Structure 1
Amino acid sequence: MIKAYQKDEELFQDILKTKNNHSGLRVWWLGQSGFLVQWNGIHVLFDPYLSDSLTKKYENTEKPHVRMSEKAIDPEKLDFIDVVTSSHYHTDHLDAETLKPILRQKKDIKFIIPEANRSFVSERVDCAPNFALGMTDGTEISFSEEVKITALASAHNELEKDEFGNNKFLGFILNIGPYTLYHSGDTLWYEGLEEKVKAFAPDVLFLPINGNRPERMVAGNMSAEEAAKFGKVVNSGIVIPHHFHMFEFNTEDPDSFAKYAQVHHTKYQILKIGQSFKLD
């Protein structure tokens, strides 16, 4: 089991100590594709997976989800979240055991989902059908003058849509204060994605690195090399990789990503679970 950089109460206190800082932005990696963003007392949580639900679900099957890393924090403690996202309907991005405790903690929490997944989401997390805020490619939601989310289509593996033309897989551009971040969700590098992202000039890009291998029997993502190349093509911010060190059958060595990032002269930062990254 890979040890967290910090977890539980230590991680909680690390988050709280800068909760009301008026300068700089902090990001914590919570494992898999989960990132907590903190700026000026505002907290945005991308795609958290903070349980063992998949390990339990797939135990004694042909596709066991053996956990590699320690859990970062009990979702019950995350009672200060303002916005939480689910980029698509796969359980490591839409986990009832994680989201239910978070969603009931704060009455005015905003829950961002693909509009195409509304019925599925409502059933899984037991929320009212109109509770979540649905998005599709190109739509925007502003929460204040300082916080806005724009949805970009993701391909996992296809640019799949429902019968109304709403994308089932999304990534998100977060404008928060003076900073811009791109969270890819799960995606391949499809034609035109780099131009969409480049137009926003993100300061940080959260990109998957576990690759696309059919023998794993799950939808794929960018590889370590593709994520490094993508960051270089966008060429505006630092790449923080995700989607590794959660399940043994579907991971990548982050050192491989680091090697490719160095080859392509891509700015990057690899985080351990519970570790933070700061932008001044």
Structure 2
Amino acid sequence: MSLIPAVLKDETLRADIDQTVPVSGVVIWWLGQSTFLVKARDGCVLFDPYLSDSLTRKYHDTDKPHVRMTELAIRGDQLTGVDLVTSTHNHTDHLDAETLGPLIDANPNITMVIPEANRAFVAKRIGCVADWPIGLNDSESRVVGTMTIHAVPAAHNTVDRDEMGRCKYLGYVVEIDGTTVYHSGDTLLYPGMAELLRPFAVDVAILPINGHRPERRVSGNLFGDQAAQLAKEIGAKVVIPCHFDMFTFNTESPKLFVETCEAIGQPYRVMRCGEPFKVA
């Protein structure tokens, strides 16, 4: 199967990121699956990077092969100037040791934000000192350099908590140079979700659209129409879909997402891997 080509990749993509210095607002690159690089004049955040083929190798000889659909745009060790990296939960496409180890080595001053409930697991997986990442629970916030990051619950498939009541799955709202970006992580809808998010006045909502199909035997996400409706309900100025076109067994077409956005008047942008998008 031919891979979907990245718009920019490897050193061309790296040069584009390095040379882009927004005067105002942010520039966003989709790097595949749920991985987004958001760069402002005075800060750069990398959401949930999966920049390897670790899952394809892991599941190659199983009954659930993770066959890659889109080219790998860039590796973790090729990205520099990253101030903040996130993990919304412990699944490998959101917490990948093969990505994070080289990324952290290439960015010695980087800060990592994780769900506090997952601290021990994160430290073991990526081999870091246990107290190094910043751990958040839902409703907590932290200032990292010029950015402020807020944690909100995610339901994957439910809003799961540990024995201390801390969320195992989070979404993050990041305020960066006057732009508010909401990255939901993996999530389904849950009661009060829109009401919780609306006060943040989200400029950019990044939401999964691969849906929830039990026959896949993996935790589910929003379908495209649900992502469009949620973006509309929270007042997002633009919504970007993600978590599709990575693995053949766990993807959906963005067609339903696009049709719903156009029907309800929700501004959207369907990005291609390795493509930059300027948000004024």
Instruction: Please tell me the TM-score bracket, short chain as reference.
Output: over 0.9
Where does 1:24-39 land on structure 2 (aligned, <5 Å)? 24-39=25-40
Q: What amino acid is the match of 1:258?
A: V
Deviations 1:51-89 (A, max 9, x none): 000000001211110000000102111121100000000
CA distance, structure 1, for counterparts of residue 135 and residue 118 of structure 2? 8
Distance 1:163 1:228 in 2: 34
Q: Let me know the Cα RMSD of the aligned residues.
A: 1.0
**Retained in 1: the 8 A contact 2:211–2:220?**
yes
Shift of 1:106: 2.3
The CA distance in 2 between the partners of 1:8 and 1:108, in whole Å, is 23
Give the stretch that moved more between structures: 182-191 or 98-107.
Answer: 98-107
The aligned residue for residue 65 of structure 1 is: 66
Aligned equivalent of 1:51: 52
3-state DSSP of counterpart to 1:199: helix
Aligned residue number for residue 109 of structure 1: 110
What is the rounded CA distance, in whole Å, between the counterparts of 2:109 and 2:71 in structure 1? 30
- Normalised by the length of structure 2, the TM-score is 0.97
**Rounded Cα–Cα distance in structure 1 between residues aligned with 2:127 and 2:31:** 24
- What is the distance in 2 between the residues matched to 1:142 and 1:100? 24
Partner of 1:190: 190
Per the TM alignment, residue 41 of structure 1 is displaced from its structure 2 partner at its CA by: 3.8
Structure 2: gaps spanning 5 or more residues: none
Match of residue 6, structure 2, among 4, 7, 21: 4
Query: Residue 132 of structure 2 aligns to a residue in which SS?
Result: coil
Pairs aligned (count): 278
CA contact (8 A) 2:84 2:144 kept: no
> 1:255 and 1:14 mapped to 2: Cα distance?
29
Which residue of structure 2 lines up, in the alignment, with residue 94 of structure 1? Answer: 95
Measure the CA separation in 1 of the matches of 2:16 and 2:109.
Answer: 24
- For 2:194 and 2:25, the matched residues in 1 are separated by 27
Shift of 1:9: 1.1
- 3-state SS, counterpart of residue 134 of structure 1: strand
Give the conservation status (yes or no) of the 8 Å contact 2:25–2:177.
no
Alignment of 1:133-212 (within 5 A): 133-144=134-145, 146-212=146-212
CA distance in structure 1 between the partners assigned to 2:25 and 2:186 by the alignment = 27
The alignment-based identity, stated in percent, is 48
Residue of structure 1 equivalent to 2:259: 259
Cα distance in structure 1, aligned partners of 2:25 and 2:235: 21
Kept after mapping to 2: 8 A contact 1:184/1:206: yes
Q: Shift of residue 45 of structure 1? A: 0.2
Amino acid at match of 1:88: H
Counterpart residue type for residue 113 of structure 1: I
Q: Aligned equivalents of 1:56 and 1:108: distance in 2? A: 30
- What is the aligned partner in structure 2 of residue 79 from structure 1? 80
Work out whether residues 25 and 178 of structure 2, in 8 Å CA contact, stay in contact via their aligned partners in 1: no
User: How many Å apart are 1:255 and its aligned residue?
Assistant: 2.3
Shift of 1:236: 3.2
Any conservation in 1 of the 2:26–2:39 contact (CA below 8 Å)?
A: yes
CA distance in 2, matches of 1:279, 1:9: 23
Equivalent-residue separation in structure 1 for 2:34 and 2:236 (angstroms): 21
Note the C-alpha offset of 1:16.
Answer: 1.2
Q: Is the 8 A contact 1:231 1:267 kept in 2?
A: no
3-state SS of paired residue (1:104) = helix
CA contact (8 A) 2:54 2:98 kept: yes
Q: Does the CA contact (< 8 Å) of 1:207 and 1:240 recur in 2?
A: yes
CA distance in 2, matches of 1:5, 1:255: 20
Contact 1:88 / 1:113 at 8 angstroms: preserved in 2?
A: yes
> 1:249, 1:176 → 2: CA distance?
35
